[in-house]
Chains A and B, each alone.
Chain A
Amino acid sequence: MLHTIIKKNSYQDSVNLMLLTNAVSVIEGINKIQIMMGTPANKDIFKGAGLYTDELEKAEANDMCIVLDTDNEDKIDEVLAAVDDYLKNQSISKSGSEFETVRTFDRAMKALPDANLAVISVPGSSAAIEADKALDNGLNVFMFSDNVSFEDERRLKEKAHDKGLLVMGPDCGTGIISSIPIAFTNVVKEGKIGIVGASGTGIQEVTTIIDRLGEGVVHAIGTGGRDLSDKVGAITMMDAIRALENHNQTEVITIISKPPAKEVRDRVVQLLRSLSKPVVTIFLGEKPEQHEGNVYQAYTLEETARISVDLAKGNDIKEDYNNFETSVEGVELKPEQTAIKGLYSGGTLAYEAATLISDALNLGKGNGGAEGFVLQANGHEVADLGDDVYTQGKPHPMIDPETRVKFMEKAAEDEKTAVILFDVVLGYGSHEDMAGALLPAIQRIKSNVESQGRQVHFVGTVCGTEQDPQSYKEQREKLVQAGVILRDSNNQAVRTALSIIGLSVEDVKKQRVEYTGTSSNEDLSISPQIDKLINSKPVIINIGLKSFTDSVVKFGGRVVQYDWRPIAGGNERMQKILSLLK
C-alpha cells in the first residue's frame, strides 16, 4: 500500500534525493520508494513509477515528497528516521590525502614544480625511460628498479654528471637523503656521519649500528651495486663523495662497497685522499692491515660503524673492535654437526657472513656455490634469499617469511647442521613483524630436532633502530624468547656461530700510518643542484610503489605520487606510433 509523506519547504537538490532514495530503498519491508521535490515534472515521474497518490496533488515545488509502498505501516517511521539521518549527515568526511596522485610526468612536475628527486620503482624495462625524463627535467634520480642494462646505467649516470645531477641506483634499495628514509630504509638519528654505499643492507647494517651507538647520519647515498664496476666507473660514488665533502654537518665520510675493479678502486681512493674529512672505507671481502692517512679501512660492517662513530665523537681509534664475547654456554653437538647454514634476507649481510666463515676456514676466495648461494663449502652454506633466483614471482624475504622458513626446515633436516644463522631486517618496506612471523617455525623446528635427540642452534641478528616502524626491542625479545641466540650485529652473530662449531676469525690489529704516496689535485666542487639536494629536504616525485611515500610524508618531505602504468597499456604498435608523433 502507498503512503505519502510531504515535508513542506524542505528543498534538497535532485542528486541528493536520488542518492537518498537509493539509501533508504534497501530498508527491509519496503517494496518501493521514491523521494523527489514536488515539481510538476517530478509528479509525472511519480506517475511513471506507479507511485502517484492524491496527496501529491497539493505538494509544491519546494516540498519534499516521499512516497513509499509497504505492507507494514511501522516502516514509515523507520524510513523517516533514515531520511532525517541521511540529510543530517550529508557531508562525506574523507581524510584528504597528504599528497597528490597523478598519472603523467608532466602533471607531476606541475604538482611540484620545485621537485628535485625522482624515486623510480617501475619495471626495469621502463625505468630508464622515466629516469631520462627526470634528468631532462633537472631532477636527481633514486632508482629502486633493477634489471636496467649496463649501457643504460652508464649513459644515465654520464648524462646526470654532465647536468650536475646524481643517479642513485639502479637496484638501489636503500637511502637516506637529508634525514628522509627512502625505499627499504631504517629510521636513523641525525648526526655527523655521511655514507656512500654500493650495497643496500650494508648501508642498513652500518647506519643502524651507528644509531644504536648514539651517533647519526644525515645522508646515506646508495649508488647501486654496479657503480664501482669498470663499465660504470663509480660516477655516482665520486659525485656523492664530493657532495658529502661539501656538506657542513657531515664530519666523517663512510664508504661501503664490494671490492671494485682495480682502476676504479684506485680512482675512488685517490679522491678520498684529497678530502678534508676523515674517511672510513669497507671493501667487503678485503682484509686491510692498516689505516692510511685520512682513510680508515675496516673489515666488517660493524667495525666500519664503530670507527665512524669514534671519529665522529673524537675518540681514539682502537686497533681491534672485536673484543666481545662469542662463546655460548651449554652447547651440545653430535660429532657430525659441523656446518653453519646462513639464511639471509640481506644480500650484503650474507656476503659478510660468507667472508667471515671463509676466513675462519682459511678457504680463500671464490667459494660461491650454485646460484643464490654466496658460500657452499665443507657443508657450510650461506644463501642470499633475496637473490632473483628465489624472488621470481615471490615476495622478498624481508617481506614474506615463507622462503626462509622452507630453507630453515631443510637446513634442520640435514644432520650436519649445527647452526642456523639468520638476519631480521627492520625499517620501512620490511615486514611489520618478521620476528613474530618466523617464531612459530623456529619453535617447531627446534622441538622437532630435539625429539630426534639433536640440537640446532639458531643465531640471529636484528638490523634496526628504536625509531623504526617495527619495535627493535620487541623484535629482539620475541627472538630471545624463541630460544634464538641473539647478537647485536651480523659480525657478532657470525663469529658466535663460528665459535659454536669451534672456529674463530683471526683479526689484524691495525695501526694508522701516514700516507706517503703522491697526492692529486681533485676537483671537489659540486653543482648547485647537488648542493640543494644535500642541504634541504628533497621534493620528491615518487614513480611506482606508493608505499614509498609513507616515510617521505612522515619525515616532512613533500611528494607527489605518479601512478605509473605502461605506455598505451603496453600496446607496442601504439607505443611506436606515439614515439613517431612526438
Chain B
Amino acid sequence: MKYQSIDEANRAVLDSIVGSSPFLVDVVPAKSVISELNNGKVILHAGPPIKWDDMTGPMQGSCIGASLFEGWAETEEEAEKMLANGEVEFIPCHHVNAVGPMGGITTANFPVFVVENRSEGNEAYCIMNEGIGKVLRFGAYSKEVIDRLNWMRDVLGPTLSKAIKLKGDGLNLNVMIAKAVTMGDEFHQRNIAASLIFLKEVAPLIVQLDMDDKDQKDVMQFLADTDQFFLNVMMATSKAVMDGARKIQDGTVVTAMCRNGKDFGIRISGMGDQWFTAPVNTPQGLFFTGYSQEDANSDIGDSAITETIGVGGMAMIAAPGVTRFVGAGGFDDALSTSNEMMEICIDQNPNFTVPTWDFQGTCLGIDARKVVETGITPVINTGIAHKQAGVGQIGAGTVRAPLACFEKAIEAYAEKLGLI
C-alpha cells in the first residue's frame, strides 16, 4: 500500500472529493462521448452487470422504449424478441463513465450531460430528466414517452448545449450545489431549489439563442415544470467526483453504490473497479392511491451515487420538505437519520454546509469498515417504480443498502492486503 495506514489512504480519497471541481460543460449525444455505443446495438443500464432475463419489469420496459426510440424495432413485440435473443449488448453505465436513474437505460442518441471534474481531469455523463408520470426510466414506452425523448434529443439537448457554451467556462456545479443545500435540497428526492438555480443560470443564456420561438418557449416551460431536473446533473457530478477520487486505489471508502433491480453493487477505493453485490432490498414509502407495497419494484437505479458522496438520504436533515418520507416522523427523525449516517462516515464536507444541521457539512466518505462494524447501512431516498413495465412511478420512500456488499468488500480488501 502506498499509504502508512488505511486511515491515511481514506483521507487521501476524501481530500480528492473535497478538492473536486465539477463543471457542467455540455449536453451531447451519448454516442459522441461513449465510444462503446457506436459498436452495434448497445444498451447501458443501471447497477452492476445484469442479463436481460434477470432484469425486473421497469428495466425491461425501458429497454423496449429505448429500442423503439433508436428505431431498432417498430413494435413492442419486435423489440422484446430482439432484446431476448441476444442481439443487444448490455453494459453497466458505471463501466463507461456514466450513471443512469432508475433503469438507467441509455443508448446512442440520448442526450447526456457532460460534467468535467477539473481537479482530476475526468468526465462523467448522465441522461436528462424527463419529468414525472409516464417516463422511460420507470419502464414506460408509450408514444408520449418516445415523442418526449425525440424532443429532448432534437430540441432540449441542443438548446442546452448552445446555452452552456455561451457561458464559456461551463457552469460551476459546486457553487450551485452549495446554494441549493442551504435552500432545502438533499439532491435525491428533492432538487427543486437546484433546478431553479439551474434555470436561473441558463434562462438568460437560452433567451439569447437564435431559435424557433415555440421551441424556446417549450424548453423554458419544461425546465420550469421539471422539479427533479437537477437530479441527473447531480448524478453526473457525483460520478465525476467519485471517479476522480477513486484513482486512489487504497482504503475502504465507498466509491459507488448502485442497483439493477436484482443486485445492489458497491465499490470501495481499495478494490478499484470490482463490484461487491448482494440482493437488493425493496423500498418502503408512500404510495399513490391504488398502489401499495406489493406493487413496488425492488430497488433500482444508479442514483445512489448521490448518497455515495453524502447527499440524498444521508443528507435527510437538509431537506425538511421530504423528511416525512422517513416514516410517520418529522424533523427529529430526519435529524436522527443524518446523525446515524455520520456513524458510518469518516468526516463532513465543508463545501456543503447544512443550515438545519447547525451548519455541519454533509456526510463525507462512507467507510465500509464502519458499516460492517456497526451494522448501520446507508439509507437511500428513492422513487418507487411499479414492478410491471410501463406503469411508471407509484410512490417514493427510502431503502437501505444490503450489509453483505460491505462485508464482501472489506473481506476482499483484507485478502488483497495479504492480511487473511
Number of interface residues of A (CB under 8 A): 44
Q: Choose one: B133, B342, B372, B411; the contact of A107 (CB below 8 Å).
A: B342
Is B369 part of the binding interface, using a Cβ–Cβ cutoff of 8 Å?
yes
Q: Could you tell me how many residues of chain B have their Cβ less than 8 Å away from some Cβ of chain A? A: 43
Q: Does A453 reach chain B (CB closer than 8 Å)?
A: no
Chain A contacts for B288, CB-based, 8 A: 18, 34, 45, 48-49
In the complex, chain A residues whose CB is within 8 Å of the CB of B374:
103-104, 565
Complex Cα distance, B410 from A106, in Å, reads: 20
- 1/0 per residue, CB under 8 A from B, across A100-144: the answer is 111110110010000000000000000000000000000000000
CB A85 to nearest CB in B, in angstroms, measures: 16
Bound-state Cα–Cα, A571 to B406, Å: 13
Complex: A574 Cα to B406 Cα, angstroms: 10
List chain A residues, Cβ under 8 A from B411: 573-574, 577
Q: B325's closest neighbor in chain A, by CB?
A: A15
Cβ A15 vs Cβ B330 within 8 A: no
Q: Residues 293-334 of chain B: 1 if any A CB is under 8 Å from the residue's CB, otherwise 0?
A: 000000000000000000000000000011011001111100
Are A22 and B286 in contact (CB-based, < 8 A)? Answer: yes
| CB of A94 to closest CB in B, whole Å | 5
Complex: A16 Cα to B329 Cα, angstroms: 12
Residues on A with C-beta less than 8 A from B6 are 581-582
Chain A residue with the shortest CB-CB distance to B291: A49
Q: Is the CB of A18 within 8 A of B286?
A: yes
Given contacts A103-B376, A577-B420, contact A51 B289 (CB under 8 A): yes
| Contact A18 B376, beta carbon cutoff 8 Å | no
Q: Given the complex, which residues of A lie within 8 Å of B370, measured CB to CB?
A: 104
Contact with B along A423-437 (1 / 0, CB 8 A): 000000000000000
Task: Flag B73-105 by CB within 8 Å of A: 1 or 0 each.
Answer: 000000000000000000000000000000000
Residues of chain A contacted by B391 (CB below 8 angstroms): 48
Residues of A close to B290: CB separation below 8 A: 32, 34, 48-51
Are B343's CB and A581's CB within 8 A?
Answer: no
Whether A80 sits at the interface, judged by CB under 8 Å, is no
Write the chain A residue with the least CB distance to B286.
Answer: A18
Complex partner residue of B413 from A569, A581, A582, CB under 8 angstroms: A581
Q: Does any Cβ of B come within 8 Å of A503's Cβ? A: no
B41 at the interface (CB under 8 A from A): no
Q: How far is the CB of A492 from chain B (nearest CB, A)?
A: 51
Q: Does residue A508 face the partner (Cβ distance < 8 Å to B)?
A: no
- The answer, among B133, B289, B395, for a CB contact under 8 Å with A34, is B289
Is the CB–CB distance between B133 and A577 below 8 Å? no
Docked-complex contact B289 and A574, CB < 8 angstroms? no
B132 interfacial contact with A, CB 8 Å? yes
Query: Closest residue of chain A to B375, judged by CB?
Result: A569
Q: How far is the CB of A457 from chain B (nearest CB, A)?
A: 55
CB–CB B369/A581 < 8 A: yes
Judge whether A445 is part of the interface by a CB distance below 8 angstroms: no
Per-residue contact bits, chain A 13-34, to B (CB 8 Å; 1 contact, 0 not): 1011011011001000000111
Complex Cα–Cα for A103 and B345 (A):
12
Query: Is A370 at the interface (CB under 8 A from chain B)?
Result: no
**A571 and B373 alpha carbons, distance in the complex (Å):** 10
Contacts of B331 in A (CB 8 A): 92
A19 to B420 CA separation, bound complex (whole angstroms): 50
B209 interface residue per 8 A CB criterion = no
> Taking the complex as formed, is A578 at the interface, i.e. its CB lies under 8 A from any CB of chain B?
yes
Quote the shortest CB–CB distance from B390 to chain A (angstroms).
11
When the two chains form their complex, are residues A577 and B332 in contact, meaning their CB atoms are under 8 A apart?
no
Shortest Cβ distance from residue A287 to the other chain B in the assembled complex, whole angstroms: 53
**Could you say which residues of chain B place their CB within 8 Å of the CB of A107?**
339, 342-343
Known contacts A19-B324, A569-B375, A578-B373; decide if A44 and B419 are in contact (CB<8 Å).
no
Bound complex: CA of A45 vs CA of B134, how far in Å? Answer: 9
Cross-chain contact A41 with B289 (CB below 8 angstroms): no
Asked whether, in the complex, the Cβ of A565 is within 8 Å of the Cβ of B420, the reply is: no
Interface status of A87 (Cβ within 8 A of chain B): no
With an 8 A cutoff between CB atoms, is B414 at the interface?
yes
Partner of A102 from B322, B339, B410 at Cβ < 8 Å:
B339
Q: Does B131 touch A at the CB level, under 8 Å?
A: yes
A392 at the interface (CB under 8 A from B): no
Residues on A with beta carbons closer than 8 Å to the beta carbon of B373: 104, 567-568, 578
Contact indicator per residue, chain B 141-159, by CB within 8 Å of chain A (1) or not (0): 0000000000000000000
Contact between B414 and A568, CB atoms less than 8 A apart: no
Residues on B with C-beta less than 8 A from A106 are: 343
B261 to chain A, nearest CB (A): 22
User: How far does the alpha carbon of A580 sit from the alpha carbon of B411 in the complex, in Å?
Assistant: 10
Q: Given A104-B343, A568-B375, are A581 and B289 neighbors across the interface (CB < 8 Å)?
A: no
Chain A 336-352, CB within 8 Å of chain B: the 1/0 string? 00000000000000000
CB neighbours (8 Å) of A100 from chain B are 339
Does A72 count as interface, using CB distance less than 8 angstroms? no
Q: How far is the CA of A126 from the CA of B125 in the complex (A)?
A: 48
B287 at the interface (CB under 8 A from A): yes
A104 CB contacts on chain B under 8 angstroms: 343, 370, 373-374
**CA A25 to CA B370, docked complex, whole Å:** 42
The reply on A518 being an interface residue by CB < 8 A is no
Partner of B332, one of A22, A96, A103: A96
Chain B residue, CB-CB nearest to A61: B225
A578–B375 contact, CB under 8 A? no
Q: Inside 8 A of A578's CB, which chain B residues have their CB?
A: 369, 372-373, 410
* A33 contacts B289, C-beta separation under 8 Å: yes
Given A565-B375, A577-B411, A578-B373, A92–B286 Cβ distance below 8 Å?
A: no
- When the two chains form the complex, which single residue of A32, A92, A101, A571 contacts B289, counting CB atoms closer than 8 Å? A32
- Establish whether residues A94 and B419, one from each chain, have CB atoms under 8 Å apart when the complex forms: no
- Assembly CA distance A32 to B288 (angstroms): 11
Complex Cα distance A574/B404, Å? 11
- Among B1-56, those with CB < 8 Å from A are 6
The complex places the Cα of A107 from the Cα of B370 at a distance, in Å, of 12
List the B side residues contacting A581 at CB < 8 Å: 6, 252, 369, 410, 413-414, 417, 419
- A91 proximal to B (CB < 8 A): yes
Is A580 touching B419 in the complex (CB atoms < 8 A)?
yes
| CB-contact partner of B321 in A15, A49, A102, under 8 A | A15
B184 CB → nearest A CB, Å: 11
Q: Would B321 and A13 count as touching, CB distance under 8 A?
A: yes
Residue of B nearest to A16 (CB): B324
Q: Mark B393-420, 1 if CB is under 8 A from A, else 0.
A: 0011000000000010011011001011
Q: How far is the CB of A558 from chain B (nearest CB, A)?
A: 17
List chain A positions with a Cβ less than 8 A from chain B. Answer: 13, 15-16, 18-19, 21-22, 25, 32-34, 41, 44-45, 48-51, 91-92, 94, 96-97, 100-104, 106-107, 110, 565, 567-569, 571, 573-574, 576-578, 580-582
A-B contact pairs, 27 of them (CB 8 A): A15-B286, A16-B324, A18-B287, A18-B288, A33-B289, A34-B289, A34-B290, A41-B131, A44-B134, A48-B290, A94-B330, A96-B332, A97-B332, A101-B336, A102-B343, A103-B376, A104-B374, A107-B339, A107-B342, A565-B375, A568-B375, A574-B407, A574-B411, A577-B419, A577-B420, A578-B410, A581-B419
16 new A-B contacts, CB < 8 A, other than A34-B290, A45-B288, are A15-B396, A19-B328, A25-B289, A48-B288, A48-B290, A49-B290, A51-B290, A92-B331, A104-B373, A106-B343, A568-B375, A571-B407, A576-B420, A577-B414, A577-B420, A581-B369
Q: B residues touching A (Cβ–Cβ < 8 Å)?
A: 6, 131-134, 252, 286-290, 321-322, 324-325, 328-332, 336, 339-340, 342-343, 369-370, 372-376, 391, 395-396, 407, 410-411, 413-414, 417, 419-420
Top-6 shortest CB links A-B: A92-B330, A49-B290, A34-B289, A18-B286, A580-B419, A41-B133
